[in-house]
Every structure is written in C-alpha cells, then in structure tokens.
Structure 1
Amino acid sequence: MTGTTRLSVRGHLPEGYLADALRRDAELGLTAHPKRLPPKWFYDARGSRLFEEITKLPEYYPTRAEREILRRNALDIAESLPAHTLVELGSGSSEKTRLLLDALRAVGSLERYVPVDVSAPALVEAGESLLRDYPDLTVEAVVSDFDAHLGIPEEPGPKLVAFLGGTIGNLTPDQRGVFLAAVRSQLRAGDGLLLGADLVKDPDVLVRAYDDAQGVTAEFNRNVLHVLNRELDGDFVPERFEHVAVWDSDDEWIEMRLRSLGDQTVKLGGLDLVAEFADGEEMRTEISAKFRASGLAMELERAGFAVARWWTDPENRFGLALAIPV
C-alpha cells in the first residue's frame, strides 16, 4: 500500500522473475537458428523514453490513430459496456486510458482502475498522477507479466479489460491464441475485452513506421543490446548492428531485426555464453502483426469471444474491437 489508501500495489512476480526470464530468453534466443529476442526487453527506462519519442514521429501513426478512435468513441464504448472496473494490461503511463476513465465516469459506472505492468515504480507514478485528477477513483495496481499472471481481478464485474496499442501484434498466432483464451477464462457474462489492433495497409507506410528517417526506431531496436550488456555482462557493440525493418507479406507482419556489420563474437559473462554472428546475419527482435477485421474476429471467436462492436479511425489505419465472452 502506498501513502494513499486509494492506491494499492499488488505483486504477482516471484523474487528474481524478470532477471531469470531475461537469462532464459537470451540463452534460448542467442543459440537459436535464426537468432531472436523478445521485444519486451527493449523497455528499460531508456527504451521506454525512446518509444515515447517514436510515438510522436510523423511516420508512426498507430498511437495517434488509436487515440483518435478513443477520442471519438470512448463514450460509445462506455455505454456499450458500463464497467465498474477498468483493467489495463501493459498500462505504461496510462495516458490513453484517461479517455476511457472519463467516459466510464460520465456514464456513472466506474469504481476502480486496475493497471497491470511489470514495473512497480511506473505503476506508482502513473497511479499517483491519475489520483490527482480523479479524486474519487480507486487504483489497484498489479505488478505482473502476461507470461506469468494476467493480473485480472476476480471480483464481480462488469469488468472491461483493455489491451491497447496494438501490442497483441507482438505475439505469434499461437501465442495470441493462448493469451486470448487466458483472458477469456477470467471473464464472465457482462465483462468485455477492448482490443487495439493495427490494420493491414500499404507496406511502404508500414515499413516507414518502423524505420523512421530520424533513426529513433533504430536506436530503440539497438537498445536491447544495451540491456543485455548491462544485465548479463555482455560486450555487444550496438553500433556494429544495423536496424532492419521488413514487411512479411505471407504472415502479414513487420519484422524488426538487427543485422551484424561484419563477423562478430559476443560474450555474455552472466550466462557464460559466446554467440557468433556472421557478416550480414540477422537477429529478429520484434514482430508486429497487422490485422484484418475478419481475421481478428475469427481469432477472438476461437478463444470464446464474439465481437460486439468495432471502431476504426477515419483512414482505417487502426481498429478497436469490443469482444464479449460467449
């Protein structure tokens, strides 16, 4: 419990969970063929600041498009599912959530907000900021990771679980199926899932969004190497890796990769691991799947949901689905 009774923080991660998860992911990914790392490790303090810069770049439309949808339709969302509890998975700064909070307060249903994130300090900072502006709100923050515990409270609903930002696209189809089924298992009649998804569009527009002219995304991509150096006693030279963003038309996703500039041998003392990189060898650091409304509806249906409402921005760049358990 923090200094105010209206802000509580619960933890669902065992001691050393994140350090152990990073060790496991690094060892598996750097010995795989081809090499790969999960995108979750971009987001230390520096990586989070870089991502905030990315969201303001002219090429990066998803954040603006989703915010526009929420500005136009938050009240419609709240009237469609007047939730007592708003749960946000991967809440971060909770900035866009304010539009939902305002709408749920306007329809008179909101009692509590439950942000879920891996960073306790970020949850406390965001929670205290919200309480300054929403004096009648109760914030029950949850420190958790989707891989370990979703953090959705068990108390009676109606609950609205928000998973925004297109983060669902960072999961492979199999991972999405597992994740959506896990969310469905914790919802009851009257609850709902508000899911943000980036949509398939001109590949040139997509690639530019992940390879901006200023090079901010390139630095963000290389930040994972800084994380490995710091946390696992690595000796990566980030400048010897080139940022690559490509559109995979078969899987309909963007892949971010790091391409080795020359033959390299990298040591991670914290793992007693040596990784060899050939000149031009690429390591995948992120996928960002793009969706079609019909395909997303089918994925939700397989997990036990039905799409009750669907909203897009005027340019049809991004979509928000309100899915209800069936």
Structure 2
Amino acid sequence: MSPYAMTRTLPEDATGAALRADVLHGLTGSPKTLPPKWFYDAHGSDLFDEITTLPEYYPTRAEREILVARATEIAAATGARTLVELGSGSSDKTRHLLDAFPELTTYIPVDVSESALRGAAKLLLAEHPALDIHALVADFTRALVLPTTPGPRLVAFLGGTIGNLLPEERAEFLTSVRGLLSPGDFFLLGTDLVKDEATLVAAYDDRAGVTAAFNKNVLTVVNRELDADFDLGAFDHVAVWDPEREWIEMRLRSTVAQTVKVPALDLAVNFAAGETLRTEVSAKFRREGVQAELAAAGLELVRWWPDSEGRFTLSLSSVPAA
C-alpha cells in the first residue's frame, strides 16, 4: 500500500441530494426538524472549534483527558495494527492514539468531507511518515466496506457523536459497526454521561452566544444551498433538557408568525410565533444503557474509562468469544 490513498464511496452530488431530501422531509414534518450534520460547512466547523474551547463546553476537554491518560492502555488492550475512525474530521484527537500504538501500520479515516480528509492526512503523514493512510469519503451511518488491512482492527467513534442519533438510529449504527469487526477486533466509543441539568444546558447555551450562532448556521446553509429566505434574526436559539429521554434538544424558535420560502424545493413553510424547529438531539448515557445497547448489537463491553470528574467516558467493546 502507498502511504496515502483515498476512496470515494459517495456520488459527487450526494451531499446536495441529501440536503434537499433532509430539508424537504424535516420542514414538512411535525414537529419540524433539520439534522445536525448541516451545521458543518466551513464556517460552522470554525464555530464548533470555538465551542470546544468555551468554559461551559466540557466534553472535548474531558475526552481529551481520557485519551491522554489511557491511550497506552487502549493500545495494550487491543494490539491494534489498523485504526478506523468514523467521522474523523480533522483527526485532531487521533494523534493521542497514533502516538501510543507501537504496532499500528494503517489508519483509515472516514468522513463525508474530502477536503477535511486531505488536510488531516497531510499533517499526519508529516508526523508519521511510515503510516499507511487510506481515507474513505463516506457516510458512516450507511454500510461501509473497508479496505483489506492488517488486524487486529480498532474502530473508533469519538466525540460523543453517537448521542446525535435517535435510539433506533443508534441500534442500526451499532449493528453496522459490529459488521465491520472480526474476532479480535475492538470498538472504541465516546459517550457523554448523564449529569445535572444546569451543567448540560450551559454546555449547549453558552453565555458568549457561540452555540447560538452555530445553531443558526444551519439556516445559513439552507439559504445558500437551496436559495431559501430564512431570516436568522427571526429565530432564537433554545437548548432544553428532556429528563425522560435523557437528552439535550437544540431548537430554533420562531419569534414571529412567518412564511419561509425554499425555491429549490418549490416549498413554502409556515411558522407560528413561538414554534420551534429541532436541529439537534444530544443524548446522554449511563453505563448500563451503553452496555445494553452494545450487547443488543452483538458487542461485549470490556473496558470503561470515565474522565476524572465522571462527565464523559470512553468504552471499549469487542466481539464476544463464540
């Protein structure tokens, strides 16, 4: 294998087609919704990077603490020679793992953004010139076909992103991950934990208003890509804790009665004053719940590493012995 290769499994217009489908489905549903993946154009990614540095937003710091403290232990427990990272983005956190895995030969970052994959690969190859990188331009929520690489494999899904999936979506996703694993392979999962409501809400509604700008950026994306006429000033950012479902919901609340036009979809959408548009669900977890969801997908929890304050955890699971 050459030091760097890229495989595209998404059609060239896959992103545009998915956006059109998601906006049509979400804005004609009840309640109205938009998926959180559309936050992340270049500006949205910059805003999220800023969010991760805010004092209220603990998940990134907590996960990095675990990675720094446990990377060597993760390497010893898995003996991985191939690391597969789902939703890899800039691969920033990956460095903590790459530096700790003495047997690692291959890294497979998976992301929908080809530019993010190329940028990350350039930096990683400068730091690890002997590493084989095979990037996949793909949607990790759909069935993946991985290149043939040395085992054991460690599939990593970091950042607590699994919390953005609804329960039925999580079940489908975890089952697909199980399908990528052979006996002796492992799955490393980042999950944000249930904690007091004030801490959770503050993490998604910071005093500086960065998360509010990030939330409204989804409207900017729809305006730009679908020629819509959302007035960002006519929507307020809202973050609420749902204690029954144990998740944070981010919403945009219409401040007035209004009609939004989306010409690319030949669509007019009426909003009542006070009506909300849900843009993100961020589920929080307990150990017993994570273990049960993994088991339902055919995976066995073997390690549980919380951060020092018990806010966030990395878990390691494997295919049970026959």
TM-score range, shorter chain: over 0.9
Deviations 1:279-323 (A, max 9, x none): 000010000000001110000000000011110111000010001
User: 1:78 and 2:75 equivalent?
Assistant: yes
Provide TM-score, normalisation by structure 1: 0.96
Gaps of 5+ in 1: none
Q: Alignment partner for residue 204 of structure 1, among 194, 198, 201?
A: 198
| Residue 288 of structure 2: aligned partner | 294
Aligned residues: 320
AA in 2 matched with 1:66: E
How far 1:18 moved relative to its partner?
A: 0.9
User: 1:148 and 2:145 equivalent?
Assistant: no
Gaps of 5+ in 2: none
AA in 2 matched with 1:275: V
State the secondary structure of the residue aligned to 1:70.
helix
Give percent identity, aligned residues only: 59
| Aligned positions of 1:1-326 closer than 5 A | 5-104=2-101, 108-150=102-144, 152-326=146-320
State the secondary structure of the residue aligned to 1:270.
helix
Deviations 1:17-38 (A, max 9, x none): 1111100000000000110011
AA in 2 matched with 1:234: A
Determine the C-alpha separation between the residues in 1 that align with 2:74 and 2:150.
20
Deviations 1:28-73 (A, max 9, x none): 0000011001100000001000000000000000000000001100
State the secondary structure of the residue aligned to 2:181.
coil
How far 1:154 moved relative to its partner?
A: 4.3
AA in 2 matched with 1:173: P
Alpha-carbon contact 1:12-1:149 (below 8 Å) kept? no
Alpha-carbon contact 1:13-1:148 (below 8 Å) kept? no
Determine the C-alpha separation between the residues in 2 that align with 1:228 and 1:14.
20
Provide TM-score, normalisation by structure 2: 0.98
| Over 4 Å off, 4+ runs | none
Alpha-carbon contact 1:240-1:260 (below 8 Å) kept? yes
State the secondary structure of the residue aligned to 2:80.
coil
Determine the C-alpha separation between the residues in 1 that align with 2:215 and 2:254.
13
**CA RMSD between the two structures:** 1.1
How far 1:229 moved relative to its partner?
A: 0.4
Alpha-carbon contact 1:116-1:151 (below 8 Å) kept? no
Alpha-carbon contact 2:110-2:140 (below 8 Å) kept? no
